[in-house]
Amino acid sequence: MLNIVLVEPEIPNNTGNIGRLCVGTESRLHLIHPFGFVINDKNLKRSGLDYWGHLDVTEYQNSEEWIAKVSDKSRVFLMSSHAEKSIYEADFQDGDWLVFGKESVGLSEEFLNLFENHLTIPMSNLIRSFNIANSVEFVIGEAKRQISLKI
């Protein structure tokens, strides 16, 4: 099972869509406060549809609380449009932590400095980044593809 981590998510619709994606891919969702919305936001529920009740989700009050739960920091992959290594160059394993920053600014430099593995999703120079829900979908898809080849 993959662990999807959203650091300070700002937009409820994105978090709802990612929650639905996690249910569909049997992934765990980890949400690090503060949020740009309340967890019972109607937009979150609408985007997550009736799947939210099936979601394996954990909330953390801050990044330090989440980091304390990570037993193998070498299996944490931070997504950044500034990273040089592509998600297609990573060697994903079951149980990996896939970490995404907030919609407006991504992951802070301070947060990026906490872990070695930084990955990017290859994209055209015509855009700055993908929507976070699309980004999560890309990365889960590639990780699940790799994991299925190892079984």
Is the bond preceding residue 12 a cis peptide, omega within 30 degrees?
A: no
Contact by Cβ (8 Å): 19, 132: no
Instruction: State the pLDDT at residue 13.
Output: 87
State the pTM of this model.
Answer: 0.93
Q: DSSP readout, 51-102?
A: GGGG--EEEESSHHHHHTT-S-GGGEEEE-TT-SSBGGGS---TT-EEEE-B
Residue 108 CB partners (closer than 8 Å, separation 6+) = 101
pLDDT tens track for 16-55: 899 999 999 999 999 999 988 777 757 666 665 577 788 9
pLDDT tens track for 118-148: 999 999 989 888 899 999 999 999 999 999 9
Instruction: State the pLDDT at residue 44.
Output: 63
Instruction: State the pLDDT at residue 12.
Output: 87
pLDDT tens track for 104-122: 999 999 999 999 999 999 9
Instruction: State the pLDDT at residue 130.
Output: 86
Strand 117-119 and strand 76-79: the pairing is: parallel
Percent of the chain beyond pLDDT 90? 75
Q: Give the phi and the psi of residue 60 in degrees, each rounded to 5.
A: -125, 140
Residues 43, 20: Cα–Cα separation, whole Å: 13
Residues 112, 58: Cα–Cα separation, whole Å: 21
- Residue 140: Cβ-neighbour burial (10 angstroms; 0-12, 13-18, 19+): buried
Stretch 72-87: mean pLDDT, rounded? 96
